[in-house]
Structure 1
Amino acid sequence: MTGERDLQVLLRGMRPELHDGRYVFTTVPGAVPAGLAPVVTVAEPEGLTLVVRQEEADRQGLDYDYLAAWITLRVHSALDAVGLTAAVATALADAGLSCNVVAGFHHDHLFVPHAAADEVLRRLGALAERA
C-alpha cells in the first residue's frame, strides 16, 4: 500500500489526532521490562529508548524528564515523502514548540509538550488550511 508523496496533499490531509494520556521518553539497558507497553522503541548503543504512558513509567520507577502529548497525523504518508516533517517542525518551531517525530509505516507521530497540545493542534490546523 503506497503512501502519499505530494506535500500539499499531505499537509491538507494531516487530520491530527490527539491520543489520551501523558507520554514520557525513558531508557532501559536491556529488553522492555515486563508490564510495559511502549508505543515506540528505539535501540541505541546507550540503551533501549521507550516511549510509554507516564503511569507505566511511574509504576516501574523509570526516570524521565519530558512530559509529552502524542499526536498522530492520520494522513498515510509515504516513507520517502519529502517535506512533511520539515513543514510541521518549522511551523511548531516558529511558535517556540518542540516536536519529536517518529515515522511509522502508515503515519507520522508527534510527541510534543503535553501542556501545549491544544496549541500544537491549532498550529497544525492553520498549517493544513494554508496548504
Structure 2
Amino acid sequence: MSDTRGITDLGVLLRDMTPVLSPDPMVYAVTDDVPSGCLPFATVREPEGLTLVLTRDEADALGFAHDYVAALITLQVHSALEAVGLTAAVATALAEAGISCNVIAGAFHDHLLVGWDQREDAVAVLRGLG
C-alpha cells in the first residue's frame, strides 16, 4: 500500500497541482447497486440511492439516465486529506470565472468535475493559480 501522507502547504499545492483533463465525458447516474462489470470512477451512497460517477459511454451502455455531462480534471499534486484551503482556492477561482465545480477527494489527488463545455476554460483558470 502506498503512503497516503501528502502535501499540506497551500502554496506548494497551488504551485504544483498540474491539472490533467480526462478525454472522456463523465456523468452522474443513480442506481441501487453497481452493476456487474461496471467500473465507476467514484461512488457516493446517499439515502436516496447510490450515485455513480462514470464515463458517458459506460452509462449509455448500461442504460443509465443522466443529464449533466462533466469533464474530469485531476490535480496531479499529492494533496494531504487534512490540507487546508486547496478546495476553497480552486472553487473560488472557478466560481469567479463562472464555472461550477464538484470535487471528489481521493487519498492521493483531488478530482474536479466541471461542465463539459467549460473544460478548457477551467484548466486555464487552474493553471493560472500556479
Please give the TM-score of this superposition, normalised by the length of structure 2.
0.95
Residue 44 of structure 1 is matched in structure 2 by 46
Residue 110 of structure 1 is matched in structure 2 by 112
RMSD: 0.8
Cα deviation, 1:71-90, whole Å, max 9, x if unaligned, reads 10000000000000000000
Deviating beyond 6 angstroms after TM superposition, the runs of 4 or more aligned structure 1 residues are: none
Structure 2: gaps of 5 or more residues: none
SS of the residue 1:57 aligns to = helix
Residue 15 of structure 2 is matched in structure 1 by 12
1:56 Cα deviation (Å)? 1.0
1:37 Cα deviation (Å)? 1.2
SS of the residue 1:56 aligns to = helix
Q: How does 1:27-106 map to 2 (within 5 A)?
A: 27-29=30-32, 31-106=33-108
1:35 Cα deviation (Å)? 3.3
Q: In structure 1, what is the Cα distance between the partners aligned to 2:65 and 2:106?
A: 25
- What is the letter of the counterpart of residue 19 of structure 2? P
Q: In structure 2, what is the Cα distance between the partners aligned to 1:122 and 1:55?
A: 26
The count of aligned residue pairs is: 127
Residue 24 of structure 1 is matched in structure 2 by 27
> Is the deviation greater in 33-42 or in 48-57?
33-42
Cα deviation, 1:82-123, whole Å, max 9, x if unaligned, reads 000000000000011010000000000001111111100100
Q: In structure 2, what is the Cα distance between the partners aligned to 1:119 and 1:44?
A: 31
